[in-house]
Every structure is written in structure tokens, then in C-alpha cells.
Amino acid sequence: MLKAHAKVNLTLNILRRRNDGFHEISSIFQEVTLFDEIALEPLAEDKVILTCNIKELENEDNLCYRAAMLLKEVFQIPKGAQITLKKNIPIGAGLGGGSSDAAAVLMGLNTLWGINLPEKDLLKIAAAIGSDVPFFIVGGSCAVSGKGEIVEKISLPQMDFLIVFPGFSIPTKEAYAEFDRYCGKEKCREALEDGSSKDEVYAHQELSCPKFHNDFEPATFTKYPELKKIKEGLQMKGAVQSLLSGSGSSVFGIFDSQKNLKEAFAHFKKIYPLSFMAKSKV
């Protein structure tokens, strides 16, 4: 069984819109111990079969399926695979679940099919599948830039998280459209000018650094005020940092007290059943 871990964004700076339609970003990604489960089995037949505990994900647009088919096409693999996916990471939550699943399938089939690509070549294939997929090939703590394809391993202290999924998803495309509209009105100029670099994160490893931020927050909190309330609630419950993850909709808190973490988890779990305690994964 393969574990496809979720991630949170400790910083997320949206730098500019590129000519190819993507946005240039600078971000600190942190893998966490919440994970989906994936099983891969060889098939003698020349096909890929995907089954999932969420039936609507059993389709050819699923990043797991696309990852497998891309490997087959590029390397002319004459055999197949059965992919069994158990989703634990909420969908459309800003936690990278689909991208992590695709990366796990790439790495798993790289071994199962005897392709044995080195990491640098897997990263190129991963970038063709989705912007966040390369990060999950590397994993752990990383500085991520470009549209997500530039990934540099970094070292950060151990962290304890409470991740709150509000029960609704925010499509990434929608979040960027809202960001562009919001910035077009120059309402988020301050957020854009207050970007964090990885050096600023290193300089504040006690985790009380105000530079931990997400450029999506001003626009997203305007459209979804419930998310701002969750962030404020996490801080009231003792989180030393609280942030929207990725383009949303999950909000996470970082805790330096196990007592505060457990009390906050008990509180939020009653309101939002898909709340998770997790640790950073090296």
C-alpha cells in the first residue's frame, strides 16, 4: 500500500500571471501525515483500471489514471495496472490530494513496470500532469516556484497541525479568477508586497512569524467569510499560526501545545467533521 500525503502551504506568494495562462508562484510546501491510500497491482492486459471509494472519481480525468496512461504512452509499456484508491484527503480542499495521488502512482508504476527512472526524469513527467505533482515526487518541506515545477528541498522544524475542512470545495481555477478580480481592484496590493521568502521562514523558526501568509486570503475570505472565522477561531484556540491552505478551502492551525491542539480538535470536530490532526512529514 502506498501513502499519498497531503500538503499545506506555509507561505504562498502569487507573483504574476504568465503568458501560458498559469500564475507564477513562490511558496513553502509542507507535506503532512494525513494521506490517501493507493494499491497497485500488475495486469497482463494492456489497460489501466481505476477503482475508488468515491465512485465519481473513477474516470479518465482522475490524475492517477492520467499519470499511469502518460507513463504507458511515453515508455510504450505493453502491460497494465489495477489502481485502487482510497480517498481520505478531502477533495478541492487546497491540500493537494489529487496531485499527491498522481505522484504516488508515478513512483509506484516506475518500479512495478521496471522503468526505473531517476527522480529528475520523474519530475519532468510529473510537471506534465499538474502543477503540484512535482512537489510530491520530492516531498517533505520544499521551496516551490515557477508554476510549481521548480522544487527545492529545505529543512524546517517539526510542526503539529489542525486542519479544518469546511465541507465545501473551492476549485483552483475559481480561486485564481477571484484573486485576479480582487487584485484588479488593487484591494490586495499589501498582500502582494508582503511576500515571504524561504530565508524569512528560516529566520523565524519559532513559528510566530507574521510573514507566514497566503495571497489567496483577501479575495477568498471576502467571498467565503466562514473561512476567515475558522482562521480566527483557530487562533483563539491557541494556534501560533493559522492560514488558508493553497487556494482553499481548508484552513490549518499550527500548535506548540498538545493540550491546545487536542482541545481545538475536539471543538472543531463537532462543527466540521472533516477536521484532522497531523504532523509535518520530513
Of 101, 132, 160, 215, catalytic: 132
Catalytic residue among 7, 72, 198, 237: 7
Is 7 noted as a catalytic residue in this protein? yes
How is residue 27 written as a grid cell? 511558496
Does 215 participate in catalysis according to the annotation?
no
- Alpha-carbon distance of 190 to 193, in angstroms, equals 5
Q: Where in the sequence numbering do the catalytic residues fall?
A: 7, 132
